[in-house]
């Protein structure tokens, strides 16, 4: 379909607004089942709005997608809340690098919400060196065999598939010996999944996985064998965009059920009241002002980048900029709430952990500065890929990976 034949964003917004008003429940209504909502969007042509029709999408653009979710937010309507990784990160990565058959097989059930996906990237002892991957993928005829371990994998215990970065060639430099494959997780007896207990005392979404010679069809490979680093980079690109609320990851219009974000006029007024009651306003007033300013600047920055993506003026790693800004601002906003509320922010009645308290929100805010690449990594990406500054040196970049391992053992 030519671009001229695509429905204009304005026409689409008007059509979507009428459907949203008539079809979606409000946030003040009883919580709707996220799967049922995603099915509803898919069946009416509002899921995968920017994905091609042949893979289950609506065949429109990211501007149309943004218009839909902005309209849902403006009407205060519920939208699915469990598909940010599957649809905002994994699906566009498969669209970028998957074969035609892989796209036809995997994308429609993802867009419909029938399958949950997550990413299998980090490893025990790996730190931020994702290219130093040790999880082994060995070809055995028409199948691969997967062995090793991953960790810090969000939602693995509830997911149907994981997109896994693994090492398939140990005789070439580390970035060139990687492959990416779709791993069936649910009910797989050769995979052990353990949830991690969070600092709040409850079992978290973070998991660790152990792969015991898991057989996987060769057709599950995403991208070419040995080209896994390019696939992983695409996945991280879409993840940063999603965290920064741009691109395919723009799926919520900044509105979700639960405790209100410490942004905007209402929360700012709440912080002012708390600080006044505790007579600490002179000390924290500037922090509250900064929090309010960030609440205005943050969505404006995302909107500017998305407009630049549409016009072609903002190509590349702009998601790192929006991710860095949003995670720093989110952490600062909870720090401001701690200062304004004092002990009331960390004390509650009863013995059970309060996961919706300001104190636990403060603990959780650190996760946003780590997930999808630490803020330090984002600063490196911004400096090197957006500002054109020299790249950091790496002694092992062109050394075969098995030699790197031998050198480590000798050290």
pLDDT digits (tens, 9 = 90+) for 340-352: 988 888 877 777 6
Return the DSSP state at 170.
S
**Residue 303 above 90 pLDDT?**
no
pLDDT for position 262: 45
Alpha-carbon distance of 385 to 383, in angstroms, equals 6
pLDDT reported for residue 326: 87
Q: Indicate the pTM of the whole model.
A: 0.84
Find the mean pLDDT for residues 101-123: 97
Reference 158, options 129, 123, 116, 126; nearest CA is 116
Tokens of 79: 């939208």
| Mean predicted confidence (pLDDT) in 117-129 | 87
User: How sure is the predictor about 261, in pLDDT bands with cuts at 50, 70 and 90?
Assistant: very low
Domains of the chain: 3-80+95-112 (1.10.540.10), 117-228 (2.40.110.10), 258-386 (1.20.140.10)
Which tokens belong to 89?
A: 């990160």
The pLDDT value recorded for residue 253 is 64
Q: Where is 272: in which H helix or E strand?
A: helix 265-277
Which helix (H) or strand (E) segment holds residue 214: the answer is strand 203-217
**In this model, does residue 354 exceed pLDDT 70?**
no
Q: What are phi and psi of 250, to 5 degrees?
A: -80, 95
What is the Cα–Cα distance from 253 to 21, expressed in whole angstroms?
16
Determine how many CB atoms are found less than 10 A away from the CB of residue 411.
5
Distance between CA atoms of 285 and 133, rounded to whole angstroms?
47
DSSP 8-state assignment for residue 208: E
- Give the pairing of strands 136-140 and 143-154: antiparallel
pLDDT of residue 2: 47
Average pLDDT over residues 315-319: 84
- Is the Cβ–Cβ distance between 147 and 188 less than 8 Å? no
Neighbours of 401 (CB within 10 A): 23
Q: What is the distance between the alpha carbons of residues 309 and 301, in angstroms, rounded to a whole number?
A: 12
Q: Give the C-alpha separation, 108 to 81, whole Å.
A: 18
Residue 305: C-alpha distances to residues 59, 246, 302, 371, 378 (Å)? 22, 7, 5, 21, 16
Cα 134 to Cα 249: distance, rounded to the nearest angstrom: 29
Q: Tell me which residue of 402, 390, 8 sits closest to 171, measured CA to CA.
A: 402
> Which H helix or E strand runs over 235?
helix 228-243
* pLDDT digit string, tens, across residues 187-203: 999 999 999 987 667 78
pLDDT at 260 over 70: no
Per DSSP bridges, beta strands 203-217 and 178-184 are unpaired
Length, in residues, of the chain = 411
Instruction: Compute the average pLDDT of residues 292-301.
Output: 88
Average pLDDT, the chain: 88
Q: Is residue 56 packed enough to be buried (19+ CB in 10 Å), middle (13-18) or exposed (0-12)?
A: buried
Q: How many CB atoms lie within 10 A of CB 39?
A: 16
pLDDT at 256 over 60: no
| HEC sequence for 124-166 | CCCCCCHHHCCCEEEEECCEEEEEEEEEEEECHHHCCEEEEEE
64 pLDDT band (50/70/90 cuts)? very high
Distance between CA atoms of residues 41 and 47, nearest Å: 5
pLDDT of residue 258: 39
For residue 308, pLDDT beyond 80? yes
Structural element, H or E, at residue 66: helix 62-74
Confidence tier at 313 by pLDDT (50, 70, 90): confident
pLDDT at 20 over 90: yes
């Amino acid at each position: 379909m030519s671009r001229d034949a695509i429905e204009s964003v304005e026409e689409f917004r008007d059509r979507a607004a009428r459907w949203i008003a008539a079809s979606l429940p409000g946030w003040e209504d009883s919580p709707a089942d996220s799967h049922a909502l995603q099915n509803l969007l898919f069946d009416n042509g509002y899921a995968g709005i920017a994905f091609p029709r042949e893979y289950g999408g609506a065949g429109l653009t990211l501007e149309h997608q943004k218009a839909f979710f902005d309209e849902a937010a403006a009407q205060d309507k519920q939208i699915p809340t469990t598909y940010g990784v599957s649809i905002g990160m994994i699906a566009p990565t498969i669209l970028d690098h998957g074969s035609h058959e892989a796209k036809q097989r995997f994308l429609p059930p993802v867009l419909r919400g029938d399958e949950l996906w997550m990413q299998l990237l980090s490893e025990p002892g790996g730190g931020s060196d994702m290219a130093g991957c040790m999880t082994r993928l060995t070809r055995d005829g028409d199948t691969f065999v997967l062995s090793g371990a991953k960790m810090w994998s969000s939602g693995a215990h509830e997911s149907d598939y994981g997109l896994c970065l693994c090492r398939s060639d140990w005789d070439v430099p580390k970035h060139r010996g990687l492959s990416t494959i779709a791993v069936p997780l649910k009910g797989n007896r050769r995979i052990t999944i353990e949830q991690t207990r969070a600092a709040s005392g409850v079992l978290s979404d973070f998991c660790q996985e152990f792969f015991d010679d898991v057989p996987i069809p060769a057709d599950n490979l995403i991208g070419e064998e040995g080209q896994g680093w390019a696939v992983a980079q695409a996945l991280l690109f879409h993840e940063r965009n999603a965290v920064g609320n741009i691109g395919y990851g723009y799926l919520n219009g900044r509105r979700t059920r639960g405790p209100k974000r410490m942004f905007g006029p209402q929360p700012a007024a709440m912080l002012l009241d708390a600080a006044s009651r505790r007579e600490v306003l002179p000390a924290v007033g500037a922090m509250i002002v900064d929090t309010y300013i960030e609440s205005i600047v943050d969505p404006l920055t995302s909107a500017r980048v998305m407009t630049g993506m549409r016009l072609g003026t903002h190509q590349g790693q702009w998601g790192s900029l929006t991710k860095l800004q949003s995670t720093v601002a989110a952490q600062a906003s909870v720090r401001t709430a701690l200062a304004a509320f004092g002990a009331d922010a960390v004390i509650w009645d009863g013995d059970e952990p309060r996961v919706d308290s300001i104190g636990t929100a403060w603990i959780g805010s650190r996760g946003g500065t780590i997930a999808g690449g630490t803020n330090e990594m984002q600063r490196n990406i911004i400096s090197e890929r957006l500002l054109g500054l020299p790249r950091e040196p790496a002694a092992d970049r062109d050394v075969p990976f098995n030699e790197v391992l031998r050198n480590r053992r000798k050290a």
